Structure 1
């Protein structure tokens, strides 16, 4: 597959240009290769991932967490930052990064597929799904309301099935729920909006200590699913899509650290 055509397709498929987050969504490290025959996927751009990629002689690595964040754009190429990028360049491996586009996407995004898994796991029949939480003009998060109440204890079963961590703070002392909200992270700006709509439980990736304190003050029940564990969904879905569409070999490297 021609590299330029493939990158253009991924850009358009994920609507990369619609997002302005704290990352450089797009091709972060280029290579001299013209053709892409083997793609690996990982959650994080890290040296231990690069080492495996080098050994397998891959052409393109697609990640959710890349090497250049807004607070690092002026970072010099020294120490570990140099070592990481040097490994890619010396071994002619491209690095592509998609952050919020892979949280928000309605086809292969983390958030919508967790909602779909939730519906399937609990065999929900009557429900309503809506997106909320605007970030730089793009709506990212999802909530679902349903008629048939779910016992709180069964949320742990769902998280275990999805291989999420189940760190549950039941600040509202709920015994059952009729609404569930997926947020990629706990965002101060969205708390008032979320409280106005009222959701029984939030599933969020991670939170700082003071943010959990805020949740307690608001009597908002929260599940921390942990960052890595909740962000492997897109990898498998996007890999499957590209493999089926272009016949390219794809592999997911499931390694946290």
Structure 2
């Protein structure tokens, strides 16, 4: 059907999470106005997650608003950490299993896509704020960044077709 319509479909998962320039996690940090200082969250020898900072510190509510303005609607916020945020861990998609690791890295805030019943209380126990931006939403920013990059580098036409799953 794609060929008949003369469309190209590109799908990527872990490679697009981890890419340092146009990946989901790097792009989420940029859209929140944060500086990337390191990578963590090992998956098959590749670090997928971003460790980012705002040296001056910003309010949690500011980052929630910035996410909603630059990325999309927030699904859930767990406010169990400091109100002023300096260090942020970011892992797009389903990253709830990494809440404790983000806290152990000294993060005031962890941004991921979704949680599960099993991990819901991990944020409270760890004393960390968590923003759940939606699995789909947090994994579309890299595709958009890649499309823009290809458009600029190779004069290709790119259209991002947003088909949210609600997850």
Runs (5+) with no aligned partner, structure 2: none
Give, in whole Å, the separation in 2 of the partners of 1:237 and 1:192: 29
Distance apart, 1:220 and its partner CA = 2.1
- Give the structure 2 partner of residue 148 of structure 1: 56
**Is structure 2 residue 87 aligned with structure 1 residue 179?**
yes
The Cα shift of 1:205 comes to 0.5
Does residue 1:165 correspond to 2:73, yes or no?
A: yes
Q: Does 1:112 align with 2:26?
A: yes
Alignment check: 8 A CA contact 1:243 1:250 kept: yes
TM-score by length of 1: 0.57
String of CA shifts for 1:8-37, please: whole Å, max 9, x gaps: xxxxxxxxxxxxxxxxxxxxxxxxxxxxxx
Deviation readout 1:231-255 (Å, 9 max, x if unpaired):
2212222222333344433321112
Residue 60 of structure 1 is matched in structure 2 by 8
Measure, in 2, the Cα distance between the counterparts of 1:109 and 1:142: 10
Task: Indicate which of 137, 146, 150 corresponds to 2:45.
Answer: 137
Q: 1:103 aligns with which of 17, 23, 28?
A: 17
Per the normalisation by structure 2, the TM-score is: 0.84
Deviations 1:58-113 (A, max 9, x none): 242112xxxxxxxxxxxxxxxxxxxxxxxxxxxxxxxxxx1011111012101111
Q: What is the number of residues matched between the two proteins? A: 163
Aligned pairs (5 A) from 1:223-238: 223-238=131-146
Contact 1:236 1:252 in 2 (8 A): yes
Relative to structure 1, the CA distance from residue 137 to residue 246 in structure 2 (aligned partners, 3 Å threshold; closer, same or farther) is same
Contact 1:147 1:178 in 2 (8 A): yes
Q: Pick the aligned partner of 1:204 from 107, 112, 125.
A: 112
Larger Rg: 1
Rounded to whole Å, the distance in 2 between the matches of 1:237 and 1:145 is 21
Q: 1:135 to 1:168 in 2, by over 3 A?
A: same
Counterpart residue number, 1:84: none
Structure 1 residue runs without a partner (length 5+): 1-49, 64-97
User: Which residue of the partner structure matches residue 254 of structure 1?
Assistant: 162
Tell me how large the CA RMSD over aligned residues is. 2.3
